[in-house]
């Protein structure tokens, strides 16, 4: 699993919607610190949060996981 590129995708999605890490986290019920860890490739979202990101921001989980490009 390429945690660094997954983090880049999450950051890209967040910035596309013009959200701070804090606001992005609030929408997903996680802390700003958790969002930062994801974006910096220090951890990855659980399946539950991958699905939540996909639904909230209308992207496929395969895109977040770098299995597809758009």
* Euclidean distance between CA atoms 15 and 13, whole angstroms: 6
pLDDT per residue over 13-58, tens digit each? 999 999 999 999 999 999 999 999 999 999 999 999 999 999 999 9
Please report the pLDDT score of residue 65 as a whole number: 95
Please report the pLDDT score of residue 56 as a whole number: 97
Q: Is residue 50 part of a domain?
A: yes
Q: Is residue 70 part of a domain?
A: no
Give the length of the chain: 70
Rg (CA), the chain: 11
Q: Is residue 35 part of a domain?
A: yes
- If one counts the domains in the chain, the total is 1
**CATH number, domain at 36?**
1.10.260.40
**In this model, does residue 70 exceed pLDDT 90?**
no
Q: Is residue 29 part of a domain?
A: yes
Q: Is residue 16 part of a domain?
A: yes
Please report the pLDDT score of residue 3 as a whole number: 87
Residue numbers of the domain that contains 37: 3-64
Instruction: Quote the pTM value.
Output: 0.92
């Amino acid at each position: 699993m390429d945690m660094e590129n997954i983090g880049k995708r999450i950051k890209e999605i967040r910035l596309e919607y013009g959200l701070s890490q804090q606001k992005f986290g609030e929408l997903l019920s996680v802390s700003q610190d958790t969002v930062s860890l994801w974006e910096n490739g220090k951890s990855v979202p659980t399946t539950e949060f991958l699905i939540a990101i996909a639904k909230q921001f209308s992207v496929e989980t395969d895109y977040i996981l770098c299995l597809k490009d758009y």
